[in-house]
Structure 1
Amino acid sequence: MGCAGSTPATKESGDGSGKDATKKVRKPKPWKHPQPITVAQLRQMRDEFWDTAPHYGGRKEIWDALRVASESEVALAQAIVESAGIIVSNADLTLCYDERGAKYELPKYVLSEPTNLIQDS
């Protein structure tokens, strides 16, 4: 028993939206920056990206969720993207969408450290 509008909504949620469309999140593959960079330089690049990310389009709350997910362990990142309604296109979080279809592209340097990272002296 329910209203006539409740049945289509249930069918839609099983047809590829929401959790059904979320891939399992995994760690990014190892990558190498064009030049060796220090931890401080990597941190600065990440801060600059996250400061400007909302200007690329999409919703700020999705960018915030992606930032927390990118800085978390894989299991927590999975829970974050699922609860925020983020559709993961690439399992390493480099390409995601929100429920409205807005695209979110994350560079590898915000997701993991390069293989040629130099410790600050």
Structure 2
Amino acid sequence: MFYLNLGSQASKKIRKPKAWKHSEAITREQLMQMREEFWDTAPHYGGRKEIWDALRAAAEADITLAQAIVDSAGVIVQNPDLTICYDERGAKYELPKYVLSEPTNLIRES
């Protein structure tokens, strides 16, 4: 087991992910289903449930609240868009962009 140096990584400022495009146009309902499936299975990939819960709360919050959540949970932000994070024990948490923002080809309901 290794431990990461919390140094400047722990206080890295987060930002919204860059624009991205899904492989095919999807509806908001499909996007929400993908997100639910990810969050339901995420703890099975390792790491601690409380960190996964904090990451979900951060992903669903505005950027200011998200920053406060990751800071208070002790999440070490590798990528400022939250796609790669670590906990203080060195466990890695990878978040797909679809849980962090909407694709550019989201089908808008009329």
TM-score, scaled relative to structure 2: 0.92
Partner of 1:93: 82
CA deviation profile, 1:65-88 (whole Å, cap 9, x unmatched) = 000000111111111001000000
Partner of 2:92: 103
Higher RCO, Cα 8 Å, sep 6+ = 2
TM-score, scaled relative to structure 1: 0.83
Bigger Rg over Cα:
1
Instruction: Give distance in 2, aligned partners of 1:54 and 1:17.
Output: 23
Aligned: 1:17 with 2:6: yes
CA deviation profile, 1:72-120 (whole Å, cap 9, x unmatched) = 1111111100100000000000000000000000000000000000124
Pairwise mapping of residues 66-77 of structure 1 onto structure 2 (< 5 A)?
66-77=55-66
Instruction: Give distance in 1, aligned partners of 2:99 and 2:15.
Output: 14
Q: Displaced runs of 4+ in structure 1, greater than 6 A?
A: none
Say what the alpha-carbon RMSD is for the aligned residues: 1.5
Instruction: Give distance in 2, aligned partners of 1:86 and 1:51.
Output: 20
Instruction: Give distance in 2, aligned partners of 1:83 and 1:69.
Output: 11
Overall identity of the aligned pairs, in %: 74
Aligned length: 106
